[in-house]
Chains A and B, each alone.
Chain A
């Protein structure tokens, strides 16, 4: 595979990129911190059995004008990519959002509007060449409103909806859209939060995502148990949800 990864310097994206590099996939990284991109590219080069150099380009989810040049740079470097993975996003607790109104604006733009604008560009490029894979990280938080997920959950609900639409419209034309729904995973994003039961490790979650991509699945819950946890939660009556604090 020739894959563009947006958000692979950290967390689950980092582990996913490593597993792909180790099996010999060609990779190109997008991100906003050049210094971090350099380090991750070096890490992936060392893991690639062929020791090939991994290219990268500046791209910032806060600045949609950066998307097009970044995707062109990726296309040139890989001489035509066939899949795109987006794992970048912002998380904030309701308390953090209440304390900083500008954070709410940023979170809504980055996780929803700009994420979808990026996906639109990526899917058009992929469809032009007859399809490919588009793997985007949504969240179990988008399945049902819960007290602590707040605006984050709302953006992920919208994103899940959008990704399902892509799958319905374009699978026949060869665009395989994967909506990833991680449960709680121990990464930098969730650092400092209380760790609930069934929390996942980034490397295991990444392995699940890679398997789902390889199988052409449309959606994947990871760790797997979250599929059943969410099945219960989405069926709980609202008066129960009002009382729960998780």
Chain B
């Protein structure tokens, strides 16, 4: 029974493995001193939660998951950083409370939600998660314990919101939950014929609906380019929904790593076509559980094994509103032209840029696609990034594993400011990740 750090491997959700191991901590206050990086559930796709090559142990926060305070009058929740969103929903949704912002999976930790400054289907209304956070308790690189928030140590706080865990270790998070009228979602979905109509439809839906998202078939070309299904929803009125809270659904599982050819251009095309034409022509209305609405893929355990032994990467960018539908079309044309087959790609309209120094979204259209790793992936992502730079957009670090540092610097005028703040709170650069080594030139 000896440590086997030399043999063990670690990966983000994209299953691109690197040497490293987790040290699980029930007590972050004790264990965070001297840690190189904290990692939650490892749901960021690329290398943001991986250790730098020279220091291969990350501190895994999920065992540190206690609720430290909950006020049933206001919904204010304070908890240790490893508490999962799944647990928050399980406990508080039946009591009429929901997180102000949720990403597309509930297997995330509170600390990770802050570090990625996650956004959701309600970004056009609610902004990112960090906009709602009232306070953080942090362990800084020099060992100090600091309480920060929008009203105290604000500079540190906003650098930490979306700061990928690089400004200090997040130990506790305080955030108010939102009252919801029932634990059910009233959802509508409809077919949209092309990208231009899609962007219009997202805008229109956003006026009346708090939650909107689109799934697009990014193999369709020409007039049908960017066709797909628009989904909109809101928490349902208690009249007309089941009195009981939804039950947790049984989970399916991908039992082993699939062969790499499974998700070929042809199988993806077939799936996308069936998905599009499988939806009725009329608007479909349903009452569904929040689990079904927000976390459809969480139902399938290990779905990341579908992409084969080499793993996959997700590419998510946001293109500014000024570029209009033409920008989105130009991006999709490049993608289909290069043969980038993605298994359903997600499109979302974003609201104003948040206050987090490196927070991802800005007003415009966000597009996210999965890319199975092949020998051509680096060139494909380079080309996509060059197009994103031309269009004035940027990429989401939480999804990224391939962006080159010079590309990131060109998309991100805020980077200098972020690095300056990092130097202020961690002059020696002792907190870092595989991603910060790759993108920010940290020592390995």
Contact = CB atoms under 8 A, between A and B. Distances in A.
Q: Tell whether A pairs with B.
A: yes
Given A47-B91, A186-B24, A192 B66 contact: no
Contacts of A194: 1-4
A90 to B, nearest CB: 15
Given A93-B1, A193-B1, A194-B4, A39 B24 contact: no
B66 A188 contact: no
Contacts of B72: 51
Nearest to A95: B2
Interface in A28-47: 36, 39-40, 42-43, 46-47
A148 interface: yes
A43 B1 contact: no
A86 to B, nearest CB: 19
Interface string B13-35: 00000000001111100000000
Interface of A: 10-11, 14, 36, 39-40, 42-43, 46-47, 51, 93, 148, 186-188, 191-194, 246
B67 A47 contact: yes
Contacts of A191: 23-25
Nearest to A186: B24
A151 to B, nearest CB: 15
Nearest to A35: B29
Interface string B369-385: 00000000000000000
Given A39-B66, A47-B91, A192-B3, 13 more contacts: A14-B66, A36-B27, A39-B68, A40-B66, A47-B67, A93-B1, A186-B24, A187-B63, A188-B25, A191-B23, A194-B1, A194-B2, A194-B4
B254 interface: no
B79 to A, nearest CB: 8
For the complex of A and B, 9 pairs with smallest distance between CB atoms: A43-B66, A46-B67, A46-B70, A188-B26, A193-B1, A43-B67, A148-B1, A42-B68, A39-B66
Nearest to A149: B1
Interface string B394-427: 0000000000000000000000000000000000
Interface residues of B, number: 18
Interface in B59-106: 63, 66-70, 72, 80, 91
Contacts of B67: 42-43, 46-47
A96 B360 CA distance: 47
A197 B23 CA distance: 19
A246 B1 CA distance: 7
A14 B80 CA distance: 14
Given A93-B1, A148-B1, A11 B68 contact: no
B72 to A, nearest CB: 6
Contacts of B25: 188, 191
A105 to B, nearest CB: 22
A36 B4 CA distance: 30
A26 to B, nearest CB: 18
Residue among B23, B24, B66 with the highest chain A CB neighbour number at 10 A: B66
B24 A42 contact: no
Contacts of A36: 27
A11 B26 contact: yes
Nearest to B65: A43
A112 B261 CA distance: 58
Binding site secondary structure of chain B: loop
Nearest to A36: B27
Nearest to A38: B68
B69 A42 contact: yes
A213 B63 CA distance: 25
Nearest to A193: B1
Residue among A43, A148, A187 with the highest chain B CB neighbour number at 10 A: A43
Contacts of A14: 26, 66
Contacts of A47: 67, 91
Contacts of B69: 42, 46
A148 to B, nearest CB: 5
14 contacts: A14-B66, A39-B66, A39-B80, A42-B68, A42-B69, A46-B70, A186-B24, A187-B26, A188-B26, A191-B23, A191-B24, A191-B25, A194-B1, A246-B1
B410 to A, nearest CB: 43
Interface string B43-69: 000000000000000000001001111
B27 to A, nearest CB: 8
B419 to A, nearest CB: 34
A11 B25 CA distance: 11
Contacts of A192: 3, 23
A20 to B, nearest CB: 15
B95 to A, nearest CB: 8
B24 A188 contact: yes
Contacts of B68: 39, 42-43
A148 B91 CA distance: 40
A95 B69 CA distance: 41
Nearest to A147: B1
A10 B1 contact: no
Given A148-B1, A193-B1, A10 B26 contact: yes
Contacts of A246: 1
A14 B24 CA distance: 15
Nearest to B69: A42
A191 B30 CA distance: 15
Interface string B234-253: 00000000000000000000
Contacts of A10: 26
Contacts of B23: 191-192
Interface string B304-338: 00000000000000000000000000000000000
A42 B66 contact: yes
Contacts of B4: 194
A43 B88 CA distance: 12
Contacts of B63: 187-188
Nearest to A190: B1
A10 B67 CA distance: 14
A64 to B, nearest CB: 25
A51 B2 CA distance: 43
B279 to A, nearest CB: 38
A186 B23 CA distance: 11
Contacts of A148: 1
A43 B69 CA distance: 7
B24 to A, nearest CB: 5
